Chain A
Amino acid sequence: MSFFYNKLIGGKEGLTGLILLALLILVVFPLTLDLFRLNLVGKYLTYAFPAVSLVLLWGYGGILSLGQGVFFGLGGYGMAMFLKLEASSPENTAIQSTPGIPDFMDWNQLTELPWFWEPFNSFAFTILAILIIPAAFAYIIGAAMFKRRVGGVYFAIITQVIAVILTILIVGQQGYTGGINGITDLRTLNGWDMTSDSAKYIFYFINCALLLCIVLLSRFILTSKFGSLLLAIRDKEDRVRFSGYDVSNFKIFIYCFAALISAIGGAMFTLQVGFMSPSFVGIVPSIEMVIFAAIGGRMSLIGAIYGTLLVNFGKTAFSETFPELWLFLMGGLFISVVMLFPNGLAGLWNDYKHHLTNRFAFITKRFKSQKTLTRPTNAESESLS
């Protein structure tokens, strides 16, 4: 029991943070927002998946991926392919020249379903594909790069190029992918109307539950020895390697895990928004995911979720009223988060909290300072000699 409390929940402080977040997304939002707005929040929360993945990967592991949109997209497209096939039954598509295939294929003169679409007729396969394909793809990239010690800036650039490649491929191969418009008109999931009010509520809550589970799972990883090693690799990679660890395996694992999380977010996006398009795959969405994590605090799982919500609320509010200002603001956010508060909202909150404790809890402070100030005696002798 204490294991669960200390490790997963993160003690008293972690529990408070988690309960507050759960209250906000599970109680406050559903009670105060109308369904349209709640659905919007649900969409934002799907971006929180890649943002959380970047906390693990970038904040703790020091590996900046500028291609998390790739995995978000793979998950989203996997789900969209299944839903599109369901929407393209021969009866629904009787007016096409080839009934039974998705409409965009028909427009592009395809006469039969491409082979890689076939298995997406099965829901079970689709779920497995969403969980496995992005992680397997990440494994291939990660193994190739980390085994050869490609890291830092080079990794960032190469992941970005992969995002570019996938975007061009999706846009260019419109007969197979739906092109720039993406895969649209998704209405039912196994015969169940996805656009109904009840479906929207259910998807919203599933999304929240998955997100909270992923936060817990990530906490488990970060509080284990793996977590300490991840930090150690970030700061002193050589020392870890010369302590007998195969560093690349650790990096590959966290990269695959990050890909998996992002893919789940992408699949939930498709379910809640009802379409998937290349504009959620490329460089711009990928780097925006980084800014979500950075604003929330690159070292804070929960911070990343607040960061995502905040930036997206801001984006919606601004692009409705002053679309011109938004890009300036977004640019300013990038610059200020790097220059002024590199630890994001979570960092500001911690400073503020310390400020409070310092001001009010002077009794405990006195107590604490006695403990922490037991500096080693030889250090003093050294400065004297």
Chain B
Amino acid sequence: MSTSTDLTLAIEDLTVSFDGFKAVDSLNLYIDKNELHVVIGPNGAGKTTVLDLICGKTKASSGSIKFLNKELTELAEHEIVRAGVGRKFQTPSIYENLTVFENLEVSYPYGRTVIGSLFFKRNNEVVKKIHQIAKEIMLEDVLDTESALLSHGQKQWLEIGMLLIQDPQLLMLDEPVAGMSVKEREQTAELLKKISKGRSVLVIEHDMEFVEQIAQKVTVLHQGKILAAGQMDKVQKDPKVIEVYLGH
């Protein structure tokens, strides 16, 4: 098939089954450079599994995932990250015992080997980068706070910041606004628009209002297959989509 493209992500014919149950079934999904792509779908549609497959947490049964023309299905998790794919988990996954600053420092993409981490030095460049990211995720004032004390929304932002500091080419966010207040949602929407400049972003979301705020292109997943894809307003009027969301 396509050997060399300028797509950021090209998923082709991707299938995974657990004991015979196909959680993702011959999926094709393409993401352009600088695209903010949203995947929606009812519970059990296979959304999270798709992210698991891309970042290597789950191994595909068949099919290919090409990221900047590099095959990901054969790489280990950390190699996929180093290739430039960042993934945020559904529930905020941060190091609660460390401060915000330390959380970002641990995610800083230098000193990634054993020896490197032993002799890693907190120099000006590191500090500057951490402050810059903290400002972007609206946590500059709480850099020295233990991250367990942050609000739920701030924890979500911190995890996004921990990915941003690695400057990934593809950022994958699993339900980034779940459990956020209205104000935090708006701020997060702004944040997403800001960070999608210069990189591709793949978002999984339930909240249709939020999707309307951010989405350029939407893919609707149902039972491991694509039900509809395209511009948000068109997809919303698709009778099949309405059926899946409202029909039962």
Contacts and interface: CB of A to CB of B under 8 A. Distances in A.
Residues of A contacting B: mostly: helix
A385 interface: yes
A228 B112 CA distance: 12
Given A244-B82, A244-B166, A378-B153, A235 B111 contact: no
Interface string B126-143: 000000000000110110
A228 B102 contact: yes
Contact of B106 (A229, A253, A379): A229
A90 to B, nearest CB: 47
Given A378-B184, A385-B182, A243 B81 contact: yes
Given A228-B106, A239-B89, A239-B95, A245 B184 contact: no
Interface stretch (B32-40, B116-124, B191-199, B220-228): B116-124
A382 B181 contact: yes
Interface residues on A, range: 20 to 34
A374 B100 CA distance: 14
Q: Which of A232, A244, A382 has the most CB of B within 10 A?
A: A244
Interface residues on B, range: 35 or more
A348 B174 CA distance: 41
Interface string A327-367: 00000000000000000000000000000000000000000
A381 interface: yes
B78 A245 contact: yes
Interface stretch (A77-85, A124-132, A152-160, A218-226): A218-226
B139 to A, nearest CB: 8
A238 B89 contact: yes
A250 B114 contact: yes
A95 B61 CA distance: 71
Contacts of A232: 95, 98, 106
A253 B106 CA distance: 18
A86 B139 CA distance: 66
Nearest to A242: B87
5 contacts: A225-B106, A225-B120, A235-B97, A374-B142, A376-B151
Given A228-B106, A382-B152, 8 more contacts: A226-B114, A226-B120, A228-B102, A238-B89, A378-B138, A379-B151, A382-B151, A385-B183
Interface of B: 55, 57, 76-78, 81-82, 86-87, 89, 93-98, 102, 105-107, 109, 111-114, 117-120, 138-139, 141-142, 145, 149-154, 159, 162, 166, 181-184, 187
Q: What 9 pairs across the A-B complex have the smallest Cβ distances?
A: A244-B81, A225-B120, A379-B151, A226-B117, A225-B117, A239-B93, A382-B181, A253-B114, A232-B95
